[in-house]
Amino acid sequence: MKALILVGGFGTRLRPLTLSCPKPLVDFCNKPMIVHQIEALKNVGVNEVVLAINYQPKVMMGFIDEYEKKLGVKIVCSQEETPMGTAGPLALARSILDDGSGDPFFVLNSDVICEYPLQQALDFFKSRGEGAEGTILVTKVEDPSKYGVVVFDEGTGKVDKFVEKPKVFVGDKINAGIYLLSPKILDRIELRPTSIEKEVFPKVAEEGKLFSMVLPGYWMDIGQPKDYLTGLKLHLNSLAAAGSGELAKGDNFVGNVLVHPTAKIGAGCKIGPDVSIGEGCVVGDGVRISNATVFRGVQIKDHALVSGSIVGWDSVIGNWSRVENMSVLGEDVTVKDELYLNGAVVLLHKEIKASIESPQIIL
Ligand code: GDD
Ligand code: MG
């Protein structure tokens, strides 16, 4: 079985992290976002994954070299010369997705995380019969306006309407960005920039050939810092509920915390709840971290505090410094000792020598 992951787009809402690598390769719980997805696809029998890309091909090739073997799945890039939107890439990769078997293929937005109940999606897709061209996974959210809203029959799952980013309220079940599609749908998609949400799904729905399945478990689009941290909390909760042995235990930890086995944690720290600490990090004594992600290679010196923030790769936070309130530090940022960062978004390779008292972008 085949799958395509939409990994284009510039990830502007996740800057400065996406200035170091494309959004799908930004770490989430110590793995590039799309590794969570590829692992789940492999578990349901997908043997070839197409990454639909439109920039930074070299970085993607590097990723493939590293992960194809590690994950044991064939991974190929399908590169667009100009951004093809969310449907055009399916036309471009048609020869791979439609392998003549008639089997459905998965399509995923690269920035969504959940428990990936893909086997259930497959069973649901099959149960809707021959005429069905697609199954969309849907989830309920409080503010549907920033998503694609799906109106469907609760009994059969048949979609009546698909409205991308509605201006007026039409419903609160939204497109979770995970689809199972029949090769038949490819006949509707031309080789040009096209939006699957605006140009394809509404028509298939009109013909009664689109279905939706409510996603069990948590879901989040982690394409912006605030949602990323909410996603972190949900993901760690779900690991805890599943009794995962991956979560950290000991006096230094409160609530759900993920610590890479190579990270070093000092004495008398209070870490958690809802924290992930990456490969090779060094955390000093008396450090306090809550609801935060600390990427690979970061040093947090003694008595520093990080809360509600994301600390990018190889950054350094000085003694007694406080990084708070949705601060996002890019790769290789140094924060000197005894400073206060309040909602600071700091570009890569910067050295911060004075406190930043109110939310702002440091170029
Ligand atoms: N290859 C390629 N080419 N990929 C693209 C392009 C492109 O031109 N444009 C966007 N993508 C990828 C993005 O990387 C992302 O994985 C996916 O397509 C969706 O784009 P986003 O920019 O993240 O869209 P969104 O979050 O505003 O809305 C989408 O996701 C919501 C769920 O999170 C829509 O699918 C909504 O309907 C949905 O509810
Ligand atoms: Mg998104």
Within a domain: 114: yes
Within a domain: 254: yes
Within a domain: 230: no
| Structure ipTM | 0.98
pTM: 0.93
**Domains contained in the chain, number:** 2
Task: Indicate if 310 and 164 belong to the same structural domain.
Answer: no
Within a domain: 260: yes
* C-beta of 111 in contact with ligand 1 (< 6 A): yes
Task: Indicate if 68 and 188 belong to the same structural domain.
Answer: yes
Q: Which helix (H) or strand (E) holds 220?
A: strand 219-221
Q: Determine the structural domain holding residue 295 and report its residue range.
A: 238-362
Within a domain: 296: yes
Task: Indicate if 125 and 10 belong to the same structural domain.
Answer: yes
Task: Indicate if 203 and 276 belong to the same structural domain.
Answer: no
Task: Indicate if 216 and 293 belong to the same structural domain.
Answer: no
Sequence-distant (≥ 6) Cβ neighbours of residue 310 within 8 angstroms = 17, 225, 228, 229, 292, 293, 295, 327, 328, 329
Task: Indicate if 109 and 165 belong to the same structural domain.
Answer: yes
Give yes or no for a contact between 307 and 326, defined as CB atoms under 8 angstroms apart: no
What is the Cα–Cα distance from 222 to 244, expressed in whole angstroms? 22
* C-beta of 85 in contact with ligand 1 (< 6 A): yes
What CATH number is given to the structural domain containing 330? 2.160.10.10
Task: Indicate if 154 and 73 belong to the same structural domain.
Answer: yes
Mutate to test the pocket of ligand 1, among 13, 77, 86, 175 (most ligand atoms within 8 A of CB): 86
Within a domain: 309: yes
Which residues are close to ligand 2, an ion, with C-beta < 5 A?
A: 111, 221, 223
Task: Indicate if 207 and 125 belong to the same structural domain.
Answer: yes
* C-beta of 52 in contact with ligand 1 (< 6 A): yes
Task: Indicate if 35 and 102 belong to the same structural domain.
Answer: yes
Q: Mapping DSSP to helix (H, G, I), strand (E, B) and coil, where does residue 118 land? A: helix
**47-77 burial string, b = 16+ CB within 10 Å, else e?**
ebbbbbbbebeeebeebeeebeeeeebebee
* C-beta of 144 in contact with ligand 1 (< 6 A): no
Task: Indicate if 191 and 246 belong to the same structural domain.
Answer: no
Number of H helices, E strands in the chain: 7, 31
User: Which pLDDT tens digits describe the chain residue by residue (363 residues)?
Assistant: 999 999 987 788 889 998 888 889 999 999 999 999 999 999 999 999 999 998 777 888 888 889 999 999 999 999 999 999 999 999 999 999 998 989 999 999 999 999 999 999 999 999 998 889 999 999 999 999 999 999 999 999 999 999 999 999 999 999 999 999 999 999 999 999 999 999 999 999 999 999 999 999 999 999 999 999 999 999 999 999 999 889 999 999 999 999 999 999 999 999 999 999 999 999 999 999 999 999 999 999 999 999 999 999 999 999 999 999 999 999 999 999 999 999 999 999 999 999 999 999 998
